[in-house]
């Protein structure tokens, strides 16, 4: 590909979340601060929402990397599970096998015993759920009931949810209003700001090994930002295609024409039609 041409040792604009490429945009740092402050309270739910491609999964991985040895994490990347299976999945993440239990009462009882044992050993349990908007309402309610487990001093577990804006719509349902009242901290992730886009592109290129100046001139950055509306995943897709086009012409800098062609070849862009007539 274009790695040697641009002096890179790895692909700079992949869409797979990679914590080595983390760029601490203002919104990303604010979201992480919200998570850490919420975790420090030790109770209630924490909710992070954002549009597709705004970096929620990357934020989740960065958050998990900050947790200490006194915290035990149950991470569910795909929580589209019925209540019983959800409980079993969380228990297995915590090192407890409940598959032999034949009744939900016994499941919860054994789960509670395990949580009390971890609390006695000075461990704090954090349930971290990605793609939380896909959870059935019944499972959300089961999660709330699990959060009732407590000692006289504190809750036995804390729940962190990451989801698309559809999660807010789901939580507006009266059937889960009790859970909604337990959301102590929440944050809505925006995309990159316009002034951050150039720094974001340069940062990822540097991490990938580039050392020879700016690949994306200011005019190209502005167009790329307009086409992507600052959504990091779309920025990555457009930047990758633009580099391919520049490489195909033997150029070491990405022009506005390269970005425009990359935009025409990319689905899922916001409805910005002003550039299509160029």
- The full set of domain ranges for the chain reads 3-13+194-264, 26-189
Task: Give the N- to C-terminal CA distance of the chain in Å, as an integer.
Answer: 29
pLDDT the model gives residue 100:
66
pLDDT at residue 88 greater than cutoff 60 = yes
Residue 69 burial by CB count (10 A; 0-12/13-18/19+): exposed, middle or buried?
exposed
Instruction: Give the C-alpha separation, 252 to 133, whole Å.
Output: 42
Q: What fold is seen in the domain 26-189?
A: Rossmann fold (3.40.50)
User: Per-residue pLDDT averaged across 238-255, rounded?
Assistant: 95
Dihedrals phi, psi of 82, to nearest 5 degrees: -70, 160
45-50 and 124-129 strand pairing: unpaired
Mean pLDDT rounded to a whole number for the chain: 89
167-201 pLDDT per residue, tens:
999 999 999 999 999 999 999 999 999 999 999 99
Do residues 86 and 106 touch, judged by C-beta distance below 8 A?
no
**Containing H/E element for 157?**
strand 157-163
E-strand stretches of 6-138: 45-50, 71-76, 124-129
d(CA 30, CA 39): 14
Q: Which CATH number fits domain 3-13+194-264: 2.70.98, 1.10.357, 2.60.120, 1.10.8?
A: 1.10.8
Contact 205, 233 (CB under 8 A): no
Average pLDDT over residues 69-91: 91
pLDDT of residue 80: 93
68: exposed, middle or buried (Cβ count in 10 Å: 0-12, 13-18, 19+): exposed
Summarize the confidence of residues 222-244 as an average pLDDT.
94
pLDDT number for residue 102: 62
Closest CA to 236 of 8, 54, 9: 54
Question: Would you mind telling me the total number of residues written for the chain in this entry?
Answer: 278
Given pLDDT bands bounded at 50, 70 and 90, which one contains residue 270?
A: low
């Amino acid at each position: 590909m274009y790695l040697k041409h641009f002096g890179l040792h790895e692909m700079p604009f992949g869409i797979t979340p990679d914590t080595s490429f983390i760029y601490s945009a203002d919104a990303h740092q604010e979201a992480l601060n919200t998570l850490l402050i919420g975790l420090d309270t030790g109770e209630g739910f924490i909710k992070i929402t954002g549009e597709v491609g705004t970096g929620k999964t990357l934020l989740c991985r960065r958050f998990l990397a900050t947790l200490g040895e006194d915290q035990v994490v149950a991470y569910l990347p795909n929580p589209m599970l019925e209540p019983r299976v959800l409980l079993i999945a969380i228990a297995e993440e915590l090192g407890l096998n409940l598959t032999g239990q034949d009744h939900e009462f016994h499941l919860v009882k054994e789960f509670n015993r395990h949580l009390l044992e971890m609390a006695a050993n000075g461990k704090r349990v954090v349930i971290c759920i990605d793609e939380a908007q896909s959870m059935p309402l019944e499972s959300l309610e089961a999660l709330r009931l699990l959060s009732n487990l407590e000692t006289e001093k504190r809750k036995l577990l804390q729940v962190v949810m990451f989801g698309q804006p559809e999660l807010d719509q789901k939580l507006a349902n009266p059937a889960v209003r009790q859970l909604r009242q337990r959301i102590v901290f929440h944050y809505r992730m925006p995309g990159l700001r316009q002034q951050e886009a150039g720094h974001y592109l340069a940062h990822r290129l540097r991490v990938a090994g580039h050392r020879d100046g700016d690949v994306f001139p200011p005019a190209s950055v502005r167009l790329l930002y307009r086409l992507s509306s600052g959504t990091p995943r779309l920025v990555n897709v457009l930047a990758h295609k633009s580099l391919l086009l520049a490489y195909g012409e033997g150029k070491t800098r990405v022009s506005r024409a390269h970005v425009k062609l990359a935009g025409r070849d990319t689905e899922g862009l916001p409805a910005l039609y002003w550039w299509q007539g160029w």
